[in-house]
Structure 1
Amino acid sequence: MSSIGTGYDLSCTTYSPDGRVFQVEYATKAVENASTVIGLRCKDGIILGVEKLIVNKLAYAPANKRIYHVGENIGVAAAGLLADARALVSRFREEYDHFKEFNSTVITGRVLCGRVARFAHAYTLHSSVRPFGVTALLASHSKENGPELFMIEPSGVAMRYFACAAGKGRQAARTELEKLDWMQLTAVEAVTHVIRILHIAHESNKEKPFDIDVSWICEQSDYKHEFVPDHIFQEAQRAALEALQPEDDFDDEMED
């Protein structure tokens, strides 16, 4: 009975006999069925990449955001329920603004991650609320700590990473990320790899059209969070698609 959640999934304050909290597991499942997001720390910065499924051709494409600007040096990419992502990003921004107001300095990624992770965890402790169905990748840069990448899960668990992925294509993405020598990559090179990996991860959703958004915090952006300039993105997209093309097909095209 407990293995399927019957009677133990009505509230996130109830443990099943085998020690599971089904509401948190359901929130995690919502993330696992969502679009893929990737974070990658490289030699001179952090890259965030998201797969944006096109669910409605009539929708205004920029409105389907999954990368958010929190502060001058902080960005967040979200996998999961879009409404929950917006609510959690609002908390990121509130914490950022409050810290700056009371301390007259910018919050570091480590401190911001801890505060929002505690907030997410609080939503797993009370029967009047439900866990956020979103996993957030937090990219930041500070003079004290340099570039940092964190991931906050629906349970409130937060860890620092060199590279991480969440969403439906997370396993394929993690396999590809593990093959990279992250600390030897420049930001421009990392953008190409992130786009390539997102195309590979999209195989689990290949029947649906999609767009890709990529942002970075690096030397080229003066260590501020911003979307990758269009000319760099287009060149990286071309290089990524060439890398994915079978060698035989590529040789045939060159001969033609």
Structure 2
Amino acid sequence: MVEAAREWGIFQAVNHGVPADAVAELQRVGREFFALPQEEKQRYAMDPASGKTEGYGSSVQRSPGDRKIWSDNLFHTISPPAAVNHGFWPEKPRGYREANEAYCGHMRRLTREVLERLSAGLGLEEGAMAEAFGGGDDGLVLMQKVNFYPPCPEPELVLGFAPHTDLCAFTVLVADDVPGLQVSKDGRWAVLHRVTVSKEKTRMSWPVFVHPRLEYVVAPHPRLVAGEIPAKYDYKAKTFEDYMYCKINKLPQ
């Protein structure tokens, strides 16, 4: 895991302990939500003026090469409980809330285990990275997104999502059986990734984004840049909220 994270920035988790029926139920309610009439989905529409990312919306924009972004999505916080706004959790289909709450419990455990493995791989104590997030489950914010990529008759003209790196510390991704995620490494299509669409099949994915609280200050871990080990980048400590603002607006970090 550590080697893959270092070399590729991405890895497949196996023997992770997340029950198959929990994943299947998460996928069922996600598919059924996007099969609802448009007016029902619009009840949870994202409000761009609010500055919030939660809610239902469409990604309609131009990517590099003038390829149109072709996707819909639903986005809401699942942890910690104090940050959850159930107003963005659909009432339909049946079981949506129960499926997401059950899956969230597994994600809280899995993210702790991933952080422990990565901490050990960096030569730190197992709890070091979790502590750097503020310690405990309430220090980690988990945001669930459901991506819906409908089939496109001319897939070469569109992307499900343009090339990008995620804003969060790391992402736990569940996908369906329709391929589409492409990873770039050494100039080839890792951390820089994009999403393509299919000509004939709908593609969906369920990423969980893991990051610290907005007010938490992020910076290189002091144990990793101490003494004779210089910082790899000239990165200035800032709140995670300011970090996101700079990244979204392509400002110097």
TM-score (norm 1): 0.26
Larger RCO, structure (CA 8 Å, separation 6 or more):
1
